[in-house]
Chain A
Amino acid sequence: MHKTVQIVATCLVIALIVTAIMLYEQHYNNSQKIKLSEQPVNTQLRAELVPNINFTDTNGKSYKLHELDESIVFLHFWASWCVPCLAEIPDMLELVDKADGKLAIVAVSIDTDMKKLESFMKRLKKKHGNKVNNPHIYWVTDADKEISLKTFNIAKVPETIVINKERLMIKKIVGENDWLSAETKALIE
């Protein structure tokens, strides 16, 4: 009887040693790879009230974001040096034009060189005429980053925040937007 026990015990000891060596080797090789498993995080998106910022458009008129008449506001950040931003401007103008006053676009430029911005605006007006002067587009400059970086934590353009009737921020569009798409139009409806 005790012989069997001995044989089993011997095998166990050998197995233990082998396992220990293997474990050691494995650990030695993988010590860098051991990582914690992921913990599920409960994410809930909350549509939040947009800060009621004051802004002044290029005509010198001041507004408060919450007090705009239009029901939907697109808070759009752009710059005259940003090629994708420029590419989407025609579509954007087109959209406001067709929105029957339901939509406001607050186009915040993060340009710091005001001269360049002005000459760009001149060229824009030449090209698109009245569309640029549409009263539902508010052209705003933000050279000191008061609105973009300090209020909305944005430094990379184009980015657009969609604000609904209740002045809740319901969506953020990062990068270029297809302004004439059904999706965008649905946002206005």
Chain B
Amino acid sequence: MQKPSKIINILMFPAKTKVFCLALLWLIVLLILGTIAQKDMGLYLAHQQYFSAWVLWVFDVFPTPAAFTTMGFIFYGLLIKTFSEKWTKKKIGTLIIHLGVLLLIFGGFLTSKFSIEGNMALAEGGESNFISSYHNIELAVTNIANDTNQDIAVFPQEVLQSGNIIKHDELGFSIKIQNFCNNCAISINDNESLTMPERIILSQAPPEKIEEENISGVRFIIEGSEDSQDGRYLAIENIPPITKIISGDKIYQFSIRHKRTYLPFSLKLIDFEKKLHSGTNMAKSYKSDVILSDNNIEWSSIIEMNQPLRYKGYTFYQSSVLQFNGEEMSVFAVVKNIGRLFPYISSIIICLGLLTHLFVRLPLLINKQKITALFLLFSIIISSNIQPAIAKEIEPQHSILSQLPVMHDGRIKPLDTFARIWLISFSGHEKLNDMPAISWLLELVLNPEQAHERQVFNIANPDVIHALKLKTKQKHLYSFNELFPAMRENMLTIKELYQRDEKDNSVAQRQLIEIVSKIGAYVDISNSLSIEKPSYLLRIIPPQWSNNDEWYSPWEVINKGQGSPKAALFMDKWTELTLVYKNDDIQNQRNISNAIIEQSYVLAGANINKTSLKFEQLYNNINFFKHSLILYISSLLVLIFGFMTFKKPTYIASAVLLIAGALLHIIGLGLRMYIMNRPPVSTLYESIVFVGLISIIFALIIESRSKNSLGLLMGSMIGSVLQFIGMKYSADGDSMSMLAAVLDTNFWLATHVVTITIGYGCAIIGSILGHGYLLAKIISPTNKEQHNIIMRNMMGAALVALFFSVLGTILGGIWADQSWGRFWGWDPKENGAMLICLWLILLLHGVITKLLSSKLFAISMVITNIIVVLAWFGVNLLNVGLHSYGFTENIAQNIILFCSIEIIFIIFCSILLKIKKKETTLDA
């Protein structure tokens, strides 16, 4: 019986919290060492030695676990821990976090093993269809007869070991490797009786700091060739190949180059622009104008910093500029990452877990505080937004027509809905500046010339803007008169894009096609009242003669012979309206609009349900779901701050807010059901809204039974999240605008910087509390209650800091992925952010498992300050990597000064505490 338990003990060993903390500590050490090493070794080598390796050789003698091993160890421990532990309600947050971390590590491993990374260098006018790996070398044998330049055999770096004899079926000879060096020192033998290639000596030189500066070379012997061409030859990177072997009608050339991966398309550089900061030689930005050719499609695009080109899973980033043979070459970093989704999913899980944990634990950790009042005020401000929605200020003469029944997408809806759907589709907004959708639509229909000047088309993707040669605008809105000529110029490309499979098109290409079809729809709507120009969209005339339920646009009525005396009267009114609209005759507009509505009801007869139209108008004007979202968020906020203080009143307020939100939710959904005449689960949007409501009702039932705020917490959280997601999928409109937002770099910059700064801020608050705790212990060692309060607040601060640091780091990762194609690059700044996260994780695990005493925890929190400062400013001192901005001369001194003060403070406090302790024990 004992043996298996021992085995289990060994198996369970990494799952112990103590062991985990040690592993984490080792990871922190690795991180610091690796980051410092980057200064001397360069990013890549340090990355290879510390982070992307299983074993790290200290002084080339002692094998120690490198990041892969440590992470693997942590992964295993966490896996065992997660699945062997009893899952309880209390631990649910921790559990979710752990699952997220497992997924993150797994995804990271996948990425580091299977993603393709490389670069492509192009001179102006140059074209290429392959990417070169950064680090892997290959020996290529190319047939250059008749300018074919065809690779016959490619030998990877692994086989280029001295003594290896390599063969290839296509080659009539064998190649014996004499020596290969990653970074070659080249010298020349004095013996003049030898041939030139034989006189060159290649020997291994120490690697360069910047990986790209290494020059690889290989010396080899050819055996078994025709016409006694056997002999010693060599190939050196970046030196034009000299060795040529002739065999039959083929001429073989040998070159050492970076490993190539061929792409299913090619890229041509048209123009390269380099902007310098004025008066300096420092690059401000690079910009490459390229043409991508895929079979018949030619696609013009711009690659800039932070503005990559994505195509068929590959992402091209403007990386740098290269001087080669006196020519400037634009260098693109190219990435294809299989595990790209992992960080996204796992970070959402981790953040959810942290939030859950925060909410479950926060009430225990944070004491009543005066700030509560402040937050209450904040909640009140938010909830005060929920005034009964007054019908939006539509010009009255327009609001009359908003109830005009039209047939669209198989359903009769008010003209107002039709206007909103199309305005959202074109511009992404329900309103144009202050112009309501209905007014915009009427202008487009009644006075197209004027409407064509209005900026309604939203094009946010810079790729599309460039392809159409438009000016970049802050608001990304373009008018028809701006777009139409641009479209006409690109008609050939657009036609090609239309004809091929949608899957072959990149995001930008798909967006371009979409804009073209939107313009088609726009023109169609603008022709609505014409009987000469075709239009199909605005179907305002119900069937007059046939028994089908097809409605017609005025043009269709004529063309399908569906005209009738009533339709003639109806159209007559529209003609009148056009006239008075152009004359700005408001009184007459009103009268005629009323007549049109009347006539329309006469026309449609029993076909329409006027109540349904009125309800839909109401549904449009009062955004029930948005208001319920606001109520849910308010309820959540009130509840959270209720946890800290005044339990009773906030509890009631929170419940009232939640119920009010649910009521609005029900009304909205009910109206929707009535209008659509079907259960509200047909589209993704509806199902999200519906599931949200169901969960809230459940949560309210739970709350009414248990009355411990858990139901309220759940309800308000789920309500907020689902309603928010639902809004993104907004009714009937499409979800394209969402994608554009994801690509909007400024958004990530803002969120990433803000969250990470909040994280730093909270860490500093925690650290100050740590100082306070130590001082309190020295000044009033007996006041246990005070110590406990500070201790609890300190933990709360650490938890909040961890949440924001993790969130901020992840957001930064997502931003990096969006802009540079990789989530994580072991850049010093990134390592700094990770350092803070790891450190806080270590502290929290230590204190939760009682490994750290309160005193030690406080001291560690003081150290947090040092770590924050180092991560924030210190990494800039290394002066390598992406984030080395804002470097100033005296920052180093200040950092050293700050760290010394903190260290002296810790030592001072420790000594004083020791003395105090001795005194108290002596007293006792």
Q: A36 and B682: CB pair below 8 A?
A: yes
Tell whether A155 is near chain B: CB-to-CB under 8 Å. Answer: yes
Tell whether B6 is near chain A: CB-to-CB under 8 Å. Answer: no
Q: B545 and A149: CB pair below 8 A?
A: no
Chain B neighbourhood of A43, CB < 8 A = 543, 547-549, 607
Tell whether B558 is near chain A: CB-to-CB under 8 Å. Answer: yes
A153 and B559 in contact, given A39-B411, A41-B412, A43-B549 (Cβ under 8 angstroms): no
Chain A neighbourhood of B547, CB < 8 A = 43, 45
Chain A neighbourhood of B59, CB < 8 A = none
Q: B607 and A42: CB pair below 8 A?
A: yes
A150 and B572 in contact, given A2-B86, A155-B558 (Cβ under 8 angstroms): yes
Of B345, B410, B564, which contacts A36 at CB under 8 A? B410
Tell whether B781 is near chain A: CB-to-CB under 8 Å. Answer: no
Tell whether B747 is near chain A: CB-to-CB under 8 Å. Answer: no
Q: Which 10 A-B pairs have the closest CB atoms?
A: A153-B563, A174-B561, A153-B568, A41-B549, A38-B410, A153-B567, A172-B545, A154-B563, A155-B558, A51-B565
**10 additional contacts, CB 8 Å, given A31-B735, A36-B410, A37-B678?**
A5-B87, A37-B682, A39-B678, A40-B549, A43-B547, A43-B607, A44-B606, A45-B545, A154-B563, A159-B563
Tell whether B390 is near chain A: CB-to-CB under 8 Å. Answer: no
Number of B residues with CB within 8 Å of any CB on chain A: 44
Which of A6-14, A86-94, A95-103, A111-119 faces chain B?
A6-14
Chain B neighbourhood of A17, CB < 8 A = 345
Tell whether B435 is near chain A: CB-to-CB under 8 Å. Answer: no
**Which residues of B (534-561) have their CB < 8 Å from a CB of A?**
543, 545-549, 557-561
A21 and B341 in contact, given A38-B411, A41-B607, A149-B568 (Cβ under 8 angstroms): yes
Q: Give A residues with C-beta under 8 Å from B.
A: 2, 5-6, 9-10, 13, 17, 20-21, 23, 27, 31-32, 34-46, 48, 50-51, 149-156, 159, 169, 171-172, 174-175
Listed by A's residue number, 21 A-B pairs whose Cβ atoms lie within 8 Å are A2-B86, A21-B345, A27-B684, A32-B734, A36-B676, A38-B410, A39-B411, A39-B412, A39-B676, A43-B548, A152-B564, A153-B558, A155-B563, A156-B559, A159-B561, A169-B564, A172-B545, A172-B561, A172-B564, A174-B545, A175-B561
Tell whether B683 is near chain A: CB-to-CB under 8 Å. Answer: yes
Tell whether B83 is near chain A: CB-to-CB under 8 Å. Answer: yes
In the assembly, what is the distance between CA of A23 and CA of B560, in Å?
42
In the assembly, what is the distance between CA of A27 and CA of B87, in Å?
34
Chain B neighbourhood of A46, CB < 8 A = 605
In the assembly, what is the distance between CA of A10 and CA of B98, in Å?
12
Tell whether B677 is near chain A: CB-to-CB under 8 Å. Answer: yes
Nearest A residue to B551, CB-CB: A41
Q: B605 and A44: CB pair below 8 A?
A: yes
In the assembly, what is the distance between CA of A27 and CA of B735, in Å?
10
Chain B neighbourhood of A45, CB < 8 A = 545-547
Q: A36 and B561: CB pair below 8 A?
A: no
A153 and B564 in contact, given A27-B684, A42-B607 (Cβ under 8 angstroms): yes
Instruction: Give a binary string over B670-686; 1 marks a CB under 8 Å from any A CB, 0 the rest.
Output: 00000011100011100
> Shortest Cβ distance from A79 into chain B, in angstroms?
14
**Which residues of B (359-413) have their CB < 8 Å from a CB of A?**
409-412
Tell whether B768 is near chain A: CB-to-CB under 8 Å. Answer: no
In the assembly, what is the distance between CA of A175 and CA of B559, in Å?
10
- The tally of CB-CB contacts under 8 A between chains A and B is 103
Tell whether B732 is near chain A: CB-to-CB under 8 Å. Answer: yes
Q: A36 and B735: CB pair below 8 A?
A: no
Of B99, B560, B562, B563, which contacts A13 at CB under 8 A? B99
In the assembly, what is the distance between CA of A37 and CA of B682, in Å?
8
> Shortest Cβ distance from B345 into chain A, in angstroms?
6
Nearest B residue to A25, CB-CB: B341
Chain A neighbourhood of B891, CB < 8 A = none
> Shortest Cβ distance from B450 into chain A, in angstroms?
26
Q: A156 and B561: CB pair below 8 A?
A: yes
In the assembly, what is the distance between CA of A9 and CA of B89, in Å?
13
Tell whether B566 is near chain A: CB-to-CB under 8 Å. Answer: yes
In the assembly, what is the distance between CA of A34 and CA of B731, in Å?
11
In the assembly, what is the distance between CA of A172 and CA of B606, in Å?
21
> Shortest Cβ distance from A110 into chain B, in angstroms?
12
Nearest B residue to A157, CB-CB: B561
Of A2, A23, A38, A169, which contacts B87 at CB under 8 A? A2
Nearest A residue to B349, CB-CB: A17
Q: B83 and A10: CB pair below 8 A?
A: yes
Q: A151 and B565: CB pair below 8 A?
A: yes
**Which residues of B (732-751) have their CB < 8 Å from a CB of A?**
732, 734-736
Chain B neighbourhood of A171, CB < 8 A = 545
> Shortest Cβ distance from A152 into chain B, in angstroms?
6
Q: B560 and A174: CB pair below 8 A?
A: yes
Q: B568 and A6: CB pair below 8 A?
A: no
Chain B neighbourhood of A40, CB < 8 A = 549
> Shortest Cβ distance from B605 into chain A, in angstroms?
7
Tell whether B531 is near chain A: CB-to-CB under 8 Å. Answer: yes
In the assembly, what is the distance between CA of A174 and CA of B682, in Å?
39
Chain A neighbourhood of B758, CB < 8 A = none
Chain A neighbourhood of B676, CB < 8 A = 36, 39
In the assembly, what is the distance between CA of A2 and CA of B86, in Å?
7
Interface centre among A31, A43, A44, A46 (most CB of B within 10 A): A43
Tell whether B571 is near chain A: CB-to-CB under 8 Å. Answer: yes
Nearest B residue to A175, CB-CB: B561
In the assembly, what is the distance between CA of A32 and CA of B411, in Å?
18
Chain A neighbourhood of B683, CB < 8 A = 34, 36
In the assembly, what is the distance between CA of A110 and CA of B460, in Å?
50
Q: B734 and A31: CB pair below 8 A?
A: yes
> Shortest Cβ distance from A18 into chain B, in angstroms?
10
**Which residues of B (570-623) have their CB < 8 Å from a CB of A?**
571-572, 605-607
In the assembly, what is the distance between CA of A51 and CA of B677, in Å?
37
Chain A neighbourhood of B341, CB < 8 A = 21
Nearest A residue to B407, CB-CB: A41
Instruction: Give a binary string over B155-195; 1 marks a CB under 8 Å from any A CB, 0 the rest.
Output: 00000000000000000000000000000000000000000
Q: A39 and B677: CB pair below 8 A?
A: yes
A50 and B565 in contact, given A31-B734, A150-B572, A153-B557 (Cβ under 8 angstroms): yes
Nearest A residue to B558, CB-CB: A155
In the assembly, what is the distance between CA of A149 and CA of B409, in Å?
28
> Shortest Cβ distance from B692 into chain A, in angstroms?
16
**Which residues of B (654-691) have their CB < 8 Å from a CB of A?**
676-678, 682-684
A36 and B409 in contact, given A10-B83, A42-B607 (Cβ under 8 angstroms): yes
Nearest B residue to A46, CB-CB: B605
Chain B neighbourhood of A151, CB < 8 A = 565, 568
Of B566, B606, B734, B735, which contacts A48 at CB under 8 A? B566
In the assembly, what is the distance between CA of A46 and CA of B544, in Å?
8
> Shortest Cβ distance from A16 into chain B, in angstroms?
10
In the assembly, what is the distance between CA of A74 and CA of B567, in Å?
20
**Which residues of B (290-342) have their CB < 8 Å from a CB of A?**
341
Chain B neighbourhood of A152, CB < 8 A = 563-565, 568
Nearest A residue to B678, CB-CB: A37
> Shortest Cβ distance from B754 into chain A, in angstroms?
26
Of A31, A50, A154, which contacts B561 at CB under 8 A? A154
Nearest A residue to B731, CB-CB: A36
Nearest A residue to B734, CB-CB: A31
Chain B neighbourhood of A169, CB < 8 A = 564-565
Of B409, B561, B562, which contacts A35 at CB under 8 A? B409
Instruction: Give a binary string over B241-277; 1 marks a CB under 8 Å from any A CB, 0 the rest.
Output: 0000000000000000000000000000000000000
Chain B neighbourhood of A44, CB < 8 A = 605-606
Chain A neighbourhood of B732, CB < 8 A = 36
Instruction: Give a binary string over B484-515; 1 marks a CB under 8 Å from any A CB, 0 the rest.
Output: 00000000000000000000000000000000
Q: A150 and B568: CB pair below 8 A?
A: yes
Chain A neighbourhood of B548, CB < 8 A = 43
Chain B neighbourhood of A50, CB < 8 A = 565
Of B545, B562, B605, B684, which contacts A34 at CB under 8 A? B684
Q: B558 and A35: CB pair below 8 A?
A: no
Q: A154 and B410: CB pair below 8 A?
A: no
Nearest A residue to B732, CB-CB: A36
